[in-house]
Amino acid sequence: MLGLNHTLVSEFILIGFSAFPHLQLMFFLLFLLTYLFTLLGNLLIMATIWSERSLHTPMYLFLCALSISEILYTLAIIPRMLADLLSTHHSIAFVACGNQMFFSFTFGFTHSFLLTIMGYDRYVAIGHPLRYNVLMSPRACACLVAWSWVGGSVMGLVVTMAIFHLTFCGPNEVQHFFCHVPPLLKLACGEDVPVVAKGVGLVCITALLGCFLLILLSYAFIVAAILRISSAEGRHKAFSTCASHLTVVIVHYGFASVIYLKPKGPQSLEGDTLMGITYTVLTPFLSPIIFSLRNKELKVTMKKTLLSKLLPQNS
């Protein structure tokens, strides 16, 4: 097991919400409802895309893959967080902590890679509509999705192996509600800790910043293509196909920057916990809402699907 032969620590104690002892029941109910809504929203999107043949297009294939990665990302973190909110025993085994870190980073970076691919898809659809079916063929789309998952898995493996090959020889209280890199680095001992910290930070920031710059590049070409459209109605229609993706990108990278680009220095437990909630709970909660409300075709199809299930005699 990762690092098991190099550590004196057999388990960690997650104390993320201990700073709010009187609010834990309220947090549990709030996060439970948020988590259930996140699951329901993503499952509804997936079911709608799967059942409606008109949505069997690259854009919605990528959206379906995005919903899957979001479900798995929240599954790696939130159920454990909910259990800890009701429990007085917040320990997590060393290996289980490593597994949680691996899966959270895997699905988190898969999410970023898929958002990048979705930006490229919108650029091809608007900038090269006549070549769209060739450039975004089913085989090409499947390869792009597969490489996103492979890339996410590689990132998760690199980060997890780097952290769990460190030596943990002292306190085992993790100042967070899940096994996240910064609080675990504070518990590691040895001369190589600063090197690992800088290396992991550089890898994560480079991957996120690279994805963000590629998305910006895609939208630069998209704006240039839209400006070449003569009619105002055509420009509006072209941009409307990007609205939901662009909004999710802003939310995703806005909250990610809070986590990865926050100023260095002493942080309070309350501050770290609240910042962690924005990315692990709030972002996945908002994503299906944005795609459902900002994507007109998906919204109409979802409404039609729900009505046909609830009122089959009128469908």
Identify whether 29 is part of a domain. Answer: no
Identify whether 311 is part of a domain. Answer: no
Identify whether 192 is part of a domain. Answer: yes
Q: In the predicted model, is pLDDT for residue 314 greater than 80? A: no
CB 305 within 8 A of CB 47: yes
92: three-class secondary structure by DSSP: strand
**Cα–Cα distance between 204 and 260 in angstroms, integer?**
8
pLDDT per residue as tens digits for the range 47-91:
888 888 888 889 899 999 999 999 999 999 999 999 999 887 888
Identify whether 115 is part of a domain. Answer: yes
**Nearest-10 crossing angle of helices 58-86, 24-51:** 160
Identify whether 226 is part of a domain. Answer: yes
Write the CA distances from 48 to 4, 42, 62, 141, integer angstroms. 44, 10, 14, 19
Identify whether 81 is part of a domain. Answer: yes
- The confidence band for 1, taking pLDDT boundaries of 50, 70 and 90, is very low
* CB neighbourhood size of 59 (10 A): 21
**pTM value?**
0.89
CB 22 within 8 A of CB 282: no
Domains in the chain, number: 1
Which pLDDT score, from 0 to 100, does residue 308 have? 67
Give the domain extent around 69.
4-17+34-300
Identify whether 306 is part of a domain. Answer: no
pLDDT per residue as tens digits for the range 219-268:
999 999 998 888 888 888 888 888 888 889 988 888 877 766 665 555 55
**Sequence-ordered strand ranges (E) for the chain:** 11-14, 91-93, 173-174
- CATH number for position 85: 1.20.1070.10
Identify whether 268 is part of a domain. Answer: yes
Q: In the predicted model, is pLDDT for residue 107 greater than 80? A: yes
